[in-house]
Chains A and B, each alone.
Chain A
Amino acid sequence: MANAMRDVAIVGVAESDLGRVPDKSKFQLSAEASRLALDDAGLSVKDVDGLFTTIITEGGQFSSMMMAEYMGITPRFTDSTSIGGSSFVAYVEHAAMAIATGLCDVALICHGSTNISDRGGKGGPMSASTDVFGPSQFEEPYGVSTVGSYALAAQRHMHEYGTTSEQLAEIAVATRKWASMNPKARMRDPITIDDVMNSRVIASPLHLLDCCLVTDAGGAVVLTSLERARDLKKTPVQVLGTGEAHTHRMISQMPDLTQTAAAISGKLAFERSGLTHSDIDVAQIYDSFTITVLLTLESLGFCAKGEGGAFVSNQRTAPGGDFPMNTQGGALSYTHPGMFGIFTVIEGVRQVRGECGPRQVPNAQVALCNGTGGVLSSTGTIILGRD
C-alpha cells in the first residue's frame, strides 16, 4: 500500500476569493476554487470522477451529492467523511488510495464556507438553540465552545509542563510574519508578543490573538496518478505518506488533553513515507489556536512531549527560523473559514513546487501538512515531495 500511494500526485491547487465574500454562496466558493484548481492542473471538470467534500453548516447535508450536482459531476468514487477541519487532509489519503487502486482517475477535493458572512459579518457564537439532543447535552449546557475546549487543553499543558502564554504567543507572532509576505492574507500588520499578551482573554489562558480568524473561503485540490501527472501543466507533487486518526468527539472525552491523534496519524505518515523528521523542509500545521500547533508539534514528534514551548521559542517557526511553518500565514493570520485543512495542503504543494515568491522556503523538497478537526479530535497527516 505504501508504495502504491507514491504513484499518486497532487496536480492542481487553488483558493477561491477569501476574507469577506458576502455576495457569493459557500457552494459557489467551493466550485470556483475547483475550477481554478483544475485549471492549475490543466484538467477540466469533465475529467473528475472522484469527489471528496463536506460542508458542516446549513445546506451541507449529503455534501458530496450536493456539490457533485452543483458542478455537474457524476463521480464513481464519493466521500463525505466529516471529521472536522482535518477532513480535507484525510481526503488526500482517501483519494490517493482510490487512485492507486483504480477506483477513480481524477480526484477533486473541494471546500467552501461563508463562515463570517453567515454570522452577519461578526465573529462569535452561531447557535442559539436551547434544545440539545445527543451526547453533546453533557457539554453544551455548561457553556462549552470551541475556544473553551482548546483553552482546557492549554491550561492542562501549562499545568503539566510549565508552558507559558509567552511561548504560545511566539507562534502567533511568527505566523503573522509569514502572513505579511502573502498578499492574500487577511491580517498582515506585524504583532509582538506583548500585543498577544495584551489582547483580551477569551477563555483563559487563550487571548484573542491566540485564536484563528473567522472568514469566508473556498479551496480545492486535484489528484491523479503520477503517470498521468507527468503529462500535465505543473510539476507533480507526490503523496509520499499519509495517516489519519481520531480519539474522541467531545473535549471532556479526550483521553489526554496534552496529546492529539497526530501521535497516531503522524507516526503512520512517517512510517509509510520512509522519511524522518529531519527530512521535512516545511511544515503546515493546522493553527485553529496557538495551542493546537504546540500540541501537534509534540504529538508529531518534532520535539518531546512537554517541550513544545521551548521548541517554538525565539521565533523558530518564523521566516528565517530553522523550522519554517504555516508559511501562508495560517489560520491565525491568512484565512479560516471554520475548517482550514485544505489550505494546509494547498500551501504545502505550492512550497514544494517552489512557487511561493517572497515567502518561498529555499529548496523546499518535502512538506508535512497536518490537519486537526473537531476539538483536537481528529487528525490527518500527509507528507508531500517533488517528483
Chain B
Amino acid sequence: MALPPLPRPYQDTAAYWEAAKDHRFIIQKCKECGEFQFYPRGVCSHCLSSDLDWQEASGKAEIYSCSVNYRAPHPGFADATPFVLAIVTLEEGPRMMTNIIGCDPESVKIGMAVSVVFEDVTDEVTLPKFTPV
C-alpha cells in the first residue's frame, strides 16, 4: 500500500514532530507578546520575536469546519476514503488542520467538541488527530 504524504521535520518543526512521536501535543507561545501560534515557526507570527516557548497544549478543540472527502487526494489515501478533513480551533486559540477519527464521518458537525488522539502512521511519524469527546 502506498504511503500518504509524511512530514519531513525541519528546523522549525522538529520538536513538534518529536513530541508527537511521544504522544505529546505541544504548541508555541511567544515569550515577548504572549500569543500562541500554530503551525510552528522560527519566529512569532504576531511580533516576529524569536523568543518562543513550547507548551503542552490541552488537546481540547472545537470543529471550525469539516468536510467528508470521498476522493483520495493522493495514492496514499486510496484505502482511507471517506475521511473527515477538518480545521479545529484549539482551546489555546490557534487553528489547525486535522482529521476527525473514531466516529461515523457523516456524524461530524461544525461546533463539536473534540480532543487530540495520536495516530502512529510509521515508526518515525505520528500525526495528532482529533476525535469527538
A binding-site residues for B, Cβ under 8 Å:
124-125, 127-135, 137-145, 147-148, 151-156, 159, 200-206, 250-253, 257
Q: How far is the CB of B50 from chain A (nearest CB, A)?
A: 17
> Which 5 pairs of residues, A with B, have the shortest CB-CB distance?
A137-B7, A145-B73, A151-B67, A252-B97, A140-B5
- Can you list, as one digit per residue, whether each of B9-30 has a CB less than 8 Å from chain A (1) or not (0)? 1100100000000000000000
CB <8 Å contact, A131 and B96? no
Please name all residues of chain A whose beta carbon is closer than 8 Å to the beta carbon of B34 when the two chains form the complex: none
For B40, the closest partner residue in chain A by CB is: A138
Q: How far is the CB of B21 from chain A (nearest CB, A)?
A: 14
CB <8 Å contact, A156 and B110? yes
Please name all residues of chain A whose beta carbon is closer than 8 Å to the beta carbon of B75 when the two chains form the complex: 125, 128
Q: How far is the CB of A199 from chain B (nearest CB, A)?
A: 12
Count A/B pairs, Cβ under 8 Å: 128
- Can you list, as one digit per residue, whether each of B94-115 has a CB less than 8 Å from chain A (1) or not (0)? 0111110000000000110000
Query: Chain B, interface size: which category?
Result: 35 or more
Q: Does B118 contact A (CB under 8 A)?
A: no
Please name all residues of chain A whose beta carbon is closer than 8 Å to the beta carbon of B131 when the two chains form the complex: none
Please name all residues of chain B whose beta carbon is closer than 8 Å to the beta carbon of A140 when the two chains form the complex: 5, 74
CB <8 Å contact, B74 and A127? yes
* Complex CA–CA separation, A271 to B86 (angstroms): 37
Q: Does B66 contact A (CB under 8 A)?
A: yes
Please name all residues of chain A whose beta carbon is closer than 8 Å to the beta carbon of B70 when the two chains form the complex: 200-204
For B38, the closest partner residue in chain A by CB is: A138
* Complex CA–CA separation, A252 to B64 (angstroms): 10
Q: Does B36 contact A (CB under 8 A)?
A: no
Known: A128-B2, A139-B97, A155-B110. A144 touches B73 (CB 8 A): yes
For A145, the closest partner residue in chain B by CB is: B73
Please name all residues of chain B whose beta carbon is closer than 8 Å to the beta carbon of A145 when the two chains form the complex: 69, 71, 73
Known: A135-B39, A253-B95. A148 touches B80 (CB 8 A): no
